[in-house]
Every structure is written in C-alpha cells, then in structure tokens.
Structure 1
Amino acid sequence: MEKRKILFVCPYPFDEAPSQRFRFEQYLSILQKHGYLYRFAPFLNLKAWNILYKSGNSIQKLLWLKISFLKRLVLLCQLRPYHYIFIHREASPIGPPVFEWIIHFIWRKKIIYDFDDAIWLEDPNEKGSWKARIKWKSKVRSICKWSYKVSCGNEYLGEFARKFNNYVIINPTTINTDYHKEMVVSKPNKIVIGWTGTHSTMQYLTPLLAILDKLSEEYDFELRVISNQKPDYDVNYMHFIPWRKLTEIKDLNQLDIGIMPLTDDIWSQGKCGFKLLQYMAIKKPIVASPVGVNKKIIDESQAGFSAESKEEWEKALSELLTDHALRNQLGKNGENYVKNNYSVQSNQETFLRLFSELA
C-alpha cells in the first residue's frame, strides 16, 4: 500500500516558532510511525526569519520576501505526490489567498487548514495600519471554505470556522510532557513570578506593573520575563532572560508562579492558553485573566486563580507568594490536568483524525 504524503505549508522555519512547534511539529514522528511521509515547506528560511522581525535591513527584507514568493511559485509545481496539504495560518503572510486557491481549484488537493489565533481579526497593535491592509485578513474565510478539514485551537475559533466549513476539529495546542516537565534547577533565594511569551504579547504584561510595584513594597520577589525581546521598561525586581530553545525548560523551572494577563477583547478570546499549559506542565501554580479558554483551563484544572481586577491580582499573588504548600498543591493539580487533557499523548488520536478519510 502506498504511503500517504503530507505537505506542511507554514510561515516559519522548522523548530523556531512556538505555534508551529506545539501545533504540529511535535507530531511529525507520530505521523511517521503511522505510515505517513511528509515534507516541510516554510515561507521563510532561517536567514529571512532572523532579520524580518528586527528593525532596519529594509532592502534585505524585500529581497527575502521576493525569494520566498518565488519559492512558493515553484512549490505549486510540485504538489502532485501529496494527498494532503496542511496549511498552518496561511501560505504567505501578505496578499490574497492565491496559493490556497490554486491548491484547491487547480490541483484539487485536500487542504487541512490549521490556526490557533483569531487571525481573521486585525491585531489591535496594527489596526488601520498598512500592515493590517496587506495581510488580507478576509482570506481566512475563503481558506476555511476551500478546506477538506479545519483544525482549530479552541472552541471560539471553531465557532468561526463552522460558519464556512462542516468539518471542523478542535485540535488544542499541546505539550510534549516527556520533554516539557519538572526538573531540579538552581533557583534564586526569593520567590520568582514568571511570564513567558514573544514580544508581540508583552503588551499584556505592562498593566500589571502597577500591581507588582505595590507588592514589591511588602514582598521580596523577582519578576522573570522570558522572551525573544527585552521589555522597553525596567524595574528593580525584574530579571530578563532571552528565550533560547536549548534552555527553555530549565528557565521555566526556575519560576515559582506563572502569570498570563490578557485584555478582554475579541482578539484575546481566540488565545489558546498556551502560557498556562507551559507553567502547569512543570508544576507551577498560575494566575491569569479569565479570558477565552483561560477560564476553562483554570476552572477545570484547579491549578491557580482567575484575576480580573487589580484587587484580585493582588490577592492571588499575595497568597501564592506566602504559601509554599498551596503552590505545591496547585502545581500538582496543573501537571495532572495537562497530562490528561493537553499533552501530545492525550491528543494523539485527535491529531491523526485530521488525516483520516471522511465517512
């Protein structure tokens, strides 16, 4: 029997972007074990990825964008062997869905469309800008219509996709608990409140600084920020750690409390709560804004506290800063919940169902 072939069409190089790593890259070995062959086709190569989101280098950026579009055109001539075309977010970051249209209408290939954010909405940071216009957000609706199946990170995203496609699978962003787990590390002599994420989500941390300033007058703690860019503010209790793949688990294990503040808007409703899952997988208690799937995760896991108001944030953090036994118990609750509900192992059958034939 001929092995089924999957082409993964995605924005970023392999093993570089969290959305790709935790949505499908960590399942590639499982696909191989089940008899699938695959090819990885990112829009950006590593050189382009390393300069595109940094300031300056405008000429080089334009050159790499041209090269990336040319590679996509070449790819369109190489689709014949593939049974499924798995598209994560989009085939190209700007412009209309030309590649997806050709894949569906010319090649008649089965598209599996995957996304883990409300990518049909304008990013609040870019609203009304030229960046928002060239991203062509309306294409998400079209790609959903043309897809064989749609893979969504949570129910909110799934509700949107079901308006355009009858075959929507809620495929949560998951943790590889064999790799992402508690480990013994050397720690500071103070409690560490931690936040991890990319520079694009750092805006959610800023409103919390006034609360942390107040708490720092009473408690001796450290705010540890793990990100690809340093925050544009500096406070005496903050310690910045550049995100590195090789040390990410060690760095996370140095935290005592994990936080995930969000604004309550339609963009944040699409978030998949991944920061919380990272903290919980390594037995860290959590405090988070009860927005979107965050509320479900906190309520079901009993791994921490929801906090909306300044008073709720202050109360939750104060309790965790002073109660070691509580931190341990909530941490154990979170670890068990992730293993049973948001691990690669627990979600394996759901992921494989994306590539099964419709009845």
Structure 2
Amino acid sequence: MKILFLTPYPAGEAPSQRFRFEQYFPALQERGIAYTERSFLDLATWRILYKPGHQAAKIWGIVKGFGRRVKHMLEVPGHDYVFIHREITPIGPPIFEWVVAKLLGKKIIYDFDDAIWMALTSKHNQMAAVVKWHSKVASICRWSYKVSCGNDFLCDYARQFNPRVVLNPTTIDTVNLHNRTNPQTSEKVVLGWTGTHSNMVYLASLLPVLRRLEEKYDFTFRVISNQDPQLDLKSFDYVPWQKATEIADLVQFNAGVMPLEEKISPLSLGKCGFKALQYMSLGIPAVASPVGVNTKIVTNNVDGFLCETEDDWYQALARLIEDAELRRRLGANAQRTVRERYSVLSNTENFIRLFSAADAGLPQVATNSAAVPATAHQ
C-alpha cells in the first residue's frame, strides 16, 4: 500500500500536521505501508507566513505552491490513497481535489481539525478571507472515501455530506515527546497558556481573574507563543515558542489554562482541545472553559477544572496555587486520561483503519458522478 499525504505546510513544522498524522508515520512503516508527504508551501514561505511584511515573498510563495501542486498531481497515480489535510490549496475552488477523486479515481482520506467551513478569519488574514472558498469543504467531504475529524462537532458537519466519517482525535505521543512529568515542587507557581497568536483573543477573558489573583498570590502567568501578547499583568512572562524546547518549556507549568468563548468565535466548537491535552500529558492540571470537546477531555475536579464564570476561574486557579498535593493528584489523573484515550498508542489502530476497506463500522458510499458540483464562492 502507498499513501500520498498532501499537506498545507512543510513536514514537521505545523502542530496540526505533527499531532494528527505525522506522528503515526513510524506505525505505517512498521506495517510495511509506504508514504510520501508533499506540502503546498515550501520552508522559506512558511518561515515568513505569519510575520508582518514580506508581502511580495508571500505572494510568490503562494504562486510557487500552485506550481508544486501541479507536479504533485503527477505522483497521485502511483498511490492507493491520498490523505488531504484541510485542503490541497489554501485559496480557490477544490479543483485539485476533484482531479484526484474523479479524473484519477483515487480514494481520498479527508482530515480536518477545525471548523474550516466557517467563513471567519482573524484580523491578521483579512485578505485571505476573500479567496478562501470555505464552502469547498462540503464538496471535498462528498468526494472522499472517508472523512477523518478531530471531534464530534466536526464529525456531525461532515456526516451531512458523507456517511463514512471517522472520529480521529488529535493525540499526544506520550512515549517519544510528551514523556515528562511536572513534579509540582516549585516554590513559585507557574500558571500557563500556549498557543498561536490567532487564539490570543481568548486570553482577554482571563485578565480580570489574573489581576484578582495577583492581589493575593505571588505567581507567574507564562505565555508560550509565536508572538508576545504584551499583557498588562505584573505576573506576566513571555517565552517564544521553539520546537526544540517546547516540551521543556511546557513542563514548567504547574497548571495550564484553555479559555474559550463561543460568543467570541463559533470556531470554538471546532477546537480539538489540544492545549488541554498537552498540559495533561505532562502531569499538569488543565483549567478550561466548558466549550465543545473540552467537556469530554476534562473531568471536573478529577483531572482538571471546567470553569464557566469568572468566579469559577478564580476559585479553581486559587486552589491550584495553594495546594501542591491537589496539583499532583489532578496531574496524575490527567496523564492517565491522555494515555488511555488521547495518546498515539491508544489511537494507532483507529488511524491505520482509515486506510482499510474492511471497516464494518462505516457504511458504503455510492459512486459519485464525475461532474463537478456547483460550489458557492465564499
């Protein structure tokens, strides 16, 4: 068997790719399954993509990406499956996906871990909103052999267009990567958040809570990200995200926060809880909003806390600051939750079955017409 992975970003660079499928590549090799990974963006464009300026280089990188995709189409016939993460091209209609499914007759495994069909973009990407063509997600779902989704909300959307939908959670490699434990012995407690700049909007709801905590406790609120949010807090500390040190930096958290608000963005329901999983895998209690998949990942007062109101957040974080034994107990339970339900080891067979015809849990799909369905441009 041969699988062609068509990805947005260079191999080993983007968290969504690393934690949804790239970390299963050794399992494919062990089973004698050959694979090839091809990205839309080259490494040079990826490195400047989220930096201000460089507009000419970014545009040229996109143009080159389309040229790369034309070459990649020549590789498709030599593979049994084509695994598409999010989309083959970041802008425009799903022409390449149609070519793969209809002209070349290949089985598509379509994978996504966000509500990418929603026409919402951050203020950093206003230009992209015009040409994203969000409605293509529905078409790609229809043309796919199977659809792999990161949570139930995403699965429910995909099932409108294709009955062969697999819940494939974002998982943690507890053997080779997230394999440390915070002993919870530090004298000064570190509360932390990690994520990209586009999700920093959710931190605003925590600022009043953190300021209240600062009046009573001496602690550090640390943000690990690709941009400095420059929060107006005396407890604030910023650590630039680096792939080489991400685990060593994360394991210094004594508790990790994951605030979400559906009223800020409906995209919250599509989140796959990865922040919480990262914290929990390292023995760090997760304190999260009860939104979307968070309510399935975190069990309140067992392996973390689910907090809805400002007072909920204050009480939970205050308890964790004060009580090291509570942090250890919740952290140990959190690691068990990840190992049993959200680890690479626990999900490997589920992932491998994506590339199997003998999956009794999924219905068969009728052969589609080769005509290109109309797709609204959003």
TM over 0.5: yes
Asked whether the equivalents of residues 86 and 113 of structure 1 are also in contact (C-alpha less than 8 Å), the reply is: yes
What is the correspondence of 1:88-127 to structure 2 with a 5 Å cutoff?
88-123=85-120, 125=122
2:343 maps to amino acid? S
Please give the alpha-carbon distance, in whole angstroms, between the structure 1 residues aligned to 2:214 and 2:281. 27
Q: CA deviation at 1:302?
A: 2.0
Identity %: 51
Evaluate the alpha carbon distance shift between residue 293 and residue 30 of structure 1 in structure 2; reply closer, same or farther with a 3 A threshold.
same
SS in 2 for 1:80: helix
Please give the alpha-carbon distance, in whole angstroms, between the structure 1 residues aligned to 2:153 and 2:117. 12
Asked whether the equivalents of residues 281 and 335 of structure 1 are also in contact (C-alpha less than 8 Å), the reply is: yes
Structure 1 match to 2:242: 244
Structure 1 match to 2:342: 342
**328-337 vs 51-60, greater mean Cα deviation:** 51-60
Asked whether the equivalents of residues 182 and 253 of structure 2 are also in contact (C-alpha less than 8 Å), the reply is: no
Structure 1 match to 2:272: 272
1:203 maps to amino acid? V
SS in 2 for 1:142: helix
**155-164 vs 199-208, greater mean Cα deviation:** 199-208
1:167 equivalent among 164, 175, 193: 164
Please give the alpha-carbon distance, in whole angstroms, between the structure 2 residues aligned to 1:48 and 1:301. 44
Structure 2 match to 1:77: 74
Q: CA deviation at 1:211?
A: 1.0
Asked whether the equivalents of residues 183 and 328 of structure 2 are also in contact (C-alpha less than 8 Å), the reply is: no
Q: CA deviation at 1:246?
A: 1.1
Structure 2 match to 1:292: 292
1:163 maps to amino acid? Q
Please give the alpha-carbon distance, in whole angstroms, between the structure 1 residues aligned to 2:66 and 2:47. 17
Give CA deviations for 1:51-75 in whole Å, capped at 9, x if unaligned. 1221111111111111111111111
2:318 maps to amino acid? S
Evaluate the alpha carbon distance shift between residue 275 and residue 31 of structure 1 in structure 2; reply closer, same or farther with a 3 A threshold.
same
Asked whether the equivalents of residues 112 and 151 of structure 1 are also in contact (C-alpha less than 8 Å), the reply is: yes
Please give the alpha-carbon distance, in whole angstroms, between the structure 1 residues aligned to 2:51 and 2:358. 43
2:258 maps to amino acid? M
Q: CA deviation at 1:80?
A: 1.2
Structure 2 match to 1:306: 306
Structure 2: gaps spanning 5 or more residues: 360-378
Evaluate the alpha carbon distance shift between residue 59 and residue 187 of structure 1 in structure 2; reply closer, same or farther with a 3 A threshold.
farther
Please give the alpha-carbon distance, in whole angstroms, between the structure 2 residues aligned to 1:296 and 1:70. 42
Asked whether the equivalents of residues 184 and 328 of structure 2 are also in contact (C-alpha less than 8 Å), the reply is: no
Structure 1 match to 2:145: 148
SS in 1 for 2:267: helix
Q: CA deviation at 1:49?
A: 0.1
**255-264 vs 199-208, greater mean Cα deviation:** 199-208
Please give the alpha-carbon distance, in whole angstroms, between the structure 1 residues aligned to 2:171 and 2:150. 9
1:285 maps to amino acid? P
RMSD (CA atoms): 1.8
Give CA deviations for 1:287-314 in whole Å, capped at 9, x if unaligned. 1000001011112892111111111111
Asked whether the equivalents of residues 195 and 260 of structure 1 are also in contact (C-alpha less than 8 Å), the reply is: yes
Give CA deviations for 1:15-48 in whole Å, capped at 9, x if unaligned. 1111000000000010011111011101111101
SS in 2 for 1:292: coil
What is the correspondence of 1:176-215 to structure 2 with a 5 Å cutoff?
176-178=173-175, 179-183=177-181, 189-215=187-213
Structure 2 match to 1:158: 155
Give CA deviations for 1:249-277 in whole Å, capped at 9, x if unaligned. 11111110010000125310111111111
TM value normalised by structure 2: 0.91
Evaluate the alpha carbon distance shift between residue 126 and residue 142 of structure 1 in structure 2; reply closer, same or farther with a 3 A threshold.
farther
Please give the alpha-carbon distance, in whole angstroms, between the structure 1 residues aligned to 2:183 and 2:303. 22
Give CA deviations for 1:126-146 in whole Å, capped at 9, x if unaligned. 599542221110000000000
Please give the alpha-carbon distance, in whole angstroms, between the structure 2 residues aligned to 1:122 and 1:301. 36
Please give the alpha-carbon distance, in whole angstroms, between the structure 2 residues aligned to 1:126 and 1:82. 39
SS in 2 for 1:352: helix
Structure 2 match to 1:353: 353
Please give the alpha-carbon distance, in whole angstroms, between the structure 2 residues aligned to 1:136 and 1:165. 20
Please give the alpha-carbon distance, in whole angstroms, between the structure 1 residues aligned to 2:119 and 2:137. 12
1:144 maps to amino acid? C
TM value normalised by structure 1: 0.95
Q: CA deviation at 1:119?
A: 0.6
- Aligned residue-pair number: 356
Structure 2 match to 1:133: 130
Asked whether the equivalents of residues 185 and 254 of structure 1 are also in contact (C-alpha less than 8 Å), the reply is: no
Q: CA deviation at 1:234?
A: 4.0
Please give the alpha-carbon distance, in whole angstroms, between the structure 2 residues aligned to 1:227 and 1:337. 25
Evaluate the alpha carbon distance shift between residue 300 and residue 20 of structure 1 in structure 2; reply closer, same or farther with a 3 A threshold.
farther
1:317 maps to amino acid? L
Q: CA deviation at 1:186?
A: 11
**Does the alignment pair 1:50 with 2:47?**
yes
Structure 2 match to 1:254: 252
Structure 1: gaps spanning 5 or more residues: none
2:15 maps to amino acid? P
2:214 equivalent among 198, 205, 216: 216
